[in-house]
Amino acid sequence: MKTKKLINEGAAAVDEMLAGILAAHPRHLRAVEGSPRSIVANHGPRAGKVGLVIGGGSGHEPTFLGFVGKGLADAAAIGNVFASPPPDPIIECAKAVGGGAGVLFMYGNYAGDVMNFDMAAEMLAMDDIEVRTVLTTDDIASAPVDQKERRRGVAGNVFIFKAAGAACDLMYSFDDVERLARWANERTYTMGVALSPCSLPQTRKPNFEIGADEMEIGMGIHGEPGVARGPMRSADEVTSELVGKILDEMKPARDDRVAVLVNSLGSTPLMELYIMMRKLKSMLDDAGLVIHLSLVGNYCTSLEMAGASITLMHLDDELQRLIDHPCDCAMFRSGEALL
């Protein structure tokens, strides 16, 4: 049995999606001429500003495209579904947004992305464009705490990119932008649960198997194995496990502030996300934590996978200012309009 999808040809799905996004958001986005997988913000890149280039595989929308705009990322390099972009579109993104102050690459810690972004950085160095890289590693289920550098980047990208993009928009120096990007990543924690698989447009077949009454804690956004598979549990039980593991690692003090994200992996509806948010709020209240910002919805998806993730960013004064800084992107806006 093949899954049902509103597509034409599977191989054309990404390029047709990009054409549709550009048609829907011409005020925010454009493609680099001759490089349709290099999507650039119409507003934001400017002389003297550190350029922020993000990117990765398709299928996670609104990550990465949705976070390109003034106050956030300057460009996104787009790969095939669940596949890294090759070096060429990454290079074109960097050239399009480089304002002479350097270009920061930010993306999830996946082998293909690391290889291709590193190749792009080496080629850009030959054109005297300085590139630095900050990998996102917020998925606490993907490696133990003493091996944090091996962790994957998942929905916490939203907060991490937001902080770095604000620092760029505020014309911080390259050193300070890099420092803040690393600090934002260090202070961001995510854990998720998968309930059912997704299917790629090219195959329209589930990309993993899971029983009708099973769930998997810690599964990755491409179907990478999690840390525990077992019977379905209630929303409160699942939320308690996810948040409990995050708080165990975060070790916050009472009255600390957090930004929270309850994220759908694709097909989990808002009703279920808000049920999880209810329990999350109760747990944070019991821990004496203050929610400064809460986001609920589709922010980092895995096509039509059923499941959810919870992200907490442990705020300090500097990160809070950056999270609050206005941005205006195709699929995400915050603060007062700057345009």
d(CA 195, CA 197): 7
d(CA 101, CA 109): 25
Q: Which sequence positions are flagged as catalytic?
A: 60, 222
In degrees rounded to 5, what are phi and psi of residue 323? -65, -35
Cα 282 → chain centroid:
26
3-state per-residue secondary structure call for the chain: CCCCCCCCCHHHHHHHHHHHHHHHCCCCEEEECCEEEEEEECCCCCCCCCEEEEEEEECCCCCCHHHEEECCECEEEEEEECCCCCHHHHHHHHHHHCCCCCEEEEEECCHHHHHHHHHHHHHHHCCCCCEEEEEECCECCCCCHHHHHHCCCCCCHHHHHHHHHHHHHCCCCHHHHHHHHHHHHHCEEEEEEEEECCECCCCCCECCCCCCCEEEECCCCCCCCCCEEEECCCHHHHHHHHHHHHHHHHCCCCCCEEEEEEEECECCCHHHHHHHHHHHHHHHHHCCCEEEEEEEECCCCCCCEEEEEEEEEECCHHHHHHHHCCEEECCCEECCCCC
